[in-house]
Amino acid sequence: MLSFRLNYWPIGADTLPTTSRCKTGGAHARRATPADEPFLMEVRPTVSHSARGEVGPAVASSRGDAEPDDQLSRMTAMAAHVLGVPVVRIYLDGHEAMRARRARHHDAFDDFVARIDLSTAASRPVVLEHDDESVGGDGAVIRSFAAFPIRSRCGAEGHFCVGDYRERSFGPDELALMERFVSLAEADLEQQSALLQLQFSEQRFRAVTENALDAVVIVDRFGGFRYVSDSAFSVLGIRAREATDRRIVDGVLEEDLENLERAFSSASGDGDLLETEVRYITPGGALRHLRLRGRNLLGSPGVGGFLVHIRDATERIRLEEELRTSRDRAEEMNRLKSVFLTNMSHEVRTPLTTILGFAEILEGEVHADQRRFVRLIRQGGVRLLDTLTSILDLARLESRSFDVVPQEFDVVRKVLETCQLLEPLAREKGLYLSVKTPEEPAMALLDVSALERIVSNLVRNGIKFTSQGGVTLTLEVDDDDIVLHVADTGIGMSKEFMPFLFEEFKQESEGFSRIHEGNGLGLPITKRLVELMRGDIMAESEKGTGSVFTVVLPRNGVSAHEGEETGRTRVLVVEDNADTRTLVNHLLRKSYEIVCASDGEEALRLAGESRFEALLVDINLGKGKSGEDVLHAIKALPGYDGVPVVAVTAYAMPGDRERFFSEGFDEYVSKPFSKQRLLEALEGVLQN
């Protein structure tokens, strides 16, 4: 049975409170104070591993066997000397980073502390004074004991404990000294925490810079290297230790020195960005293309220079050169193809003129039983002429030598005239050709021959693939658009074939199994003509039911070539959904020159043929390249590195916006969108 006198010592109090003597009987001790507040202090009669664990590890003691470089150990030794006590220890709870090596002595004191519940000393000091002899774990008698709570901003909590084998009372001066040592311990713990954080920050910085794919350097105001990461060897061909005597201009080709100096001079203000590309010769003699991007941090403590990331752009430059070479080769092939087709046109049209002309003469002169053969000759000649014309038109459209010339005319009249010429073709197959137009004339600024060809191709296509029923053409006109709907009751198309509908020479029935004649060029030519007039074409079809083609053309449209000469900003819209393409075109065409692409491959082709000032790119483009793929491929094209790209997408979950920005998009517009939001996004990226 242990007997104590229990005292409280409020931190900062000037006098000791009144103490009382009591017997605990192994259970509880009651404090007697003027306020007569109840207080419980548990005394545990047995020592167990769990009880010892609740106290926490001892991190420092007053004995000389502690680590000599342990500040807390030195502090407790000093406290023991100043207070004149044999034992001073610090116990920390659950803070692994702050634990020092456990002392090898004072097991009796540890056992004694383990038998006491120090939770009551969590907010204020507790003083225990022995009344009776009490034996510790190894026979040592602890007659006097004091515990002070330890707290610090770093989160470490524990107790500063003092023990004496003599029966004594701790006076105010001694308790004030203990409080002072507690403050020193708390300050030391915070200092250790700050040091650990600094070490962690430095380790993280080194891990990032040394494992970066780019070289990370700090350049002073005179161009000298203040810091060079180890990753610089793979980019610059120099070791970090070799960079002390080098400058940023060393190794740069003389022709590019002006660009480098201009980039650093332009970043004259604190926080200003710098960006340039230079050619560089490594110490080993290899030529590399380097891209430098950095920021002026001359005024930032710990940096005091330009923080620059240097990337090896040699492979990108090589790919760009290959792309340019491929583009030049493709343009040359297109030119040769045009020359070849022009010659072929002459060589084929000349004999066809003779064949068709004499066939027409013979049809009126031969006997009736021979006219059928002459008619077959004429039909074969006309079919060959149509095929030749389609191939030539496609070649001209691909080589961008097909000029669209807008002129004002009555669209209603022109559509009726074109359909009137096609009516005999439908009647010959026993089909109807129904034409629905406004009653009043509708003037439009379009290319007459292009509109005739569009109407003719769509109606002919409907007649060709329809055996029962017929074809219905509906013309709608409003202030901004003219809309053509061509619906047939023919065989329709499968969903699997729809993505290939507008590709050259593609037909759903091919080879020996095909059941309809044709070369598969009518719809591709129609699509190109529609796009040249800044319009859009859509198709809906169901196998065995029929197809509906919808063409939307601006009523006062111009050709794509004219748009390049007007000075208006050209925007490429990459969107696989035809309705959305039509919507975007309609919303933006009064402010911008809009060109649409239905997939990534078409977008790359258009971007390679001419330059656009901005792009609106859908993320989910169906089959083939995604929006992210298009972004990276476009950025790799010559002249497109700084062109802004806006992600227009239905991906609008938390984190999607940040993900697209991290991919390299300059702005983000979620679907559905308004005209105002779309215009704001474009204006924002173009102004920046």
- Model confidence pLDDT, tens digit, residues 307-348: 998 988 888 888 888 888 888 887 788 777 767 766 766 677
Query: Residue 123 has what pLDDT?
Result: 66
- Residue 102: pLDDT band with limits 50, 70, 90: very low
280-285 own/partner pairs: CB under 8 Å, 24+ apart = 280/236, 280/251, 280/252, 280/253, 281/251, 281/253, 282/236, 282/237, 282/238, 282/251, 283/237, 283/238, 283/251, 284/237
Tell me what the mean pLDDT of segment 262-276 comes to: 89
pTM for this model (two decimals)? 0.39
Query: Residue 28 has what pLDDT?
Result: 30
CB within 8 A of 6, min separation 6: which ones? 19, 20, 22, 29, 31, 39, 41, 126, 127, 128, 129
CA-wise closest residue to 459 among 428, 484, 496: 484
Q: Are strands 157-164 and 144-151 parallel, antiparallel or unpaired?
A: antiparallel
- Residue 434: pLDDT band with limits 50, 70, 90: very high
Question: How far is the C-alpha of 171 from the C-alpha of 181, rounded, in Å?
Answer: 16
Query: Residue 352 has what pLDDT?
Result: 73
Question: How far is the C-alpha of 336 from the C-alpha of 538, rounded, in Å?
Answer: 33
Tell me what the mean pLDDT of segment 14-35 comes to: 32
- Average pLDDT of the chain to the nearest whole number: 76
Is the pLDDT at 54 greater than 50? The verdict is no
Query: Residue 5 has what pLDDT?
Result: 40
Question: How far is the C-alpha of 625 from the C-alpha of 621, rounded, in Å?
Answer: 7
- Residue 645: pLDDT band with limits 50, 70, 90: very high
Out of 262-266, 388-392, 416-420, 585-589, pick the least confident. 388-392
| 413 membership: H or E segment, kind and range | helix 411-428
Query: Residue 17 has what pLDDT?
Result: 35
- Residue 452: pLDDT band with limits 50, 70, 90: confident
Name residue 432's beta-bridge partners. 470
Is the pLDDT at 685 greater than 60? The verdict is yes
Q: 24-50: buried (b, 16+ CB within 10 Å) or exposed (e) per residue?
A: beeeebebeeeeeeeeebebeeeeeee
CA-wise closest residue to 42 among 90, 109, 114, 110: 114
Q: 484-499: buried (b, 16+ CB within 10 Å) or exposed (e) per residue?
A: bbbbbbbbbbeeeeee
Query: Residue 2 has what pLDDT?
Result: 36
Is the pLDDT at 22 greater than 60? The verdict is no
Out of 106-120, 179-193, 440-454, 492-506, pick the least confident. 106-120
Tell me what the mean pLDDT of segment 594-618 comes to: 88
Per-residue DSSP letter, 679: H
Out of 343-352, 471-480, 528-537, 608-617, pick the least confident. 343-352
Is the pLDDT at 209 greater than 50? The verdict is yes
Query: Residue 572 has what pLDDT?
Result: 92
Is the pLDDT at 576 greater than 80? The verdict is yes
Is the pLDDT at 10 greater than 70? The verdict is no
Out of 121-135, 253-267, 358-372, pick the least confident. 121-135
Q: What are the structural domains, with CATH classification, of the chain? A: 3-198 (3.30.450.40), 212-312 (3.30.450.20), 318-398 (1.10.287), 410-555 (3.30.565.10), 567-688 (3.40.50.2300)
Is the pLDDT at 295 greater than 70? The verdict is yes
Is the pLDDT at 98 greater than 50? The verdict is no
Tell me what the mean pLDDT of segment 640-658 comes to: 84
Query: Residue 212 has what pLDDT?
Result: 66
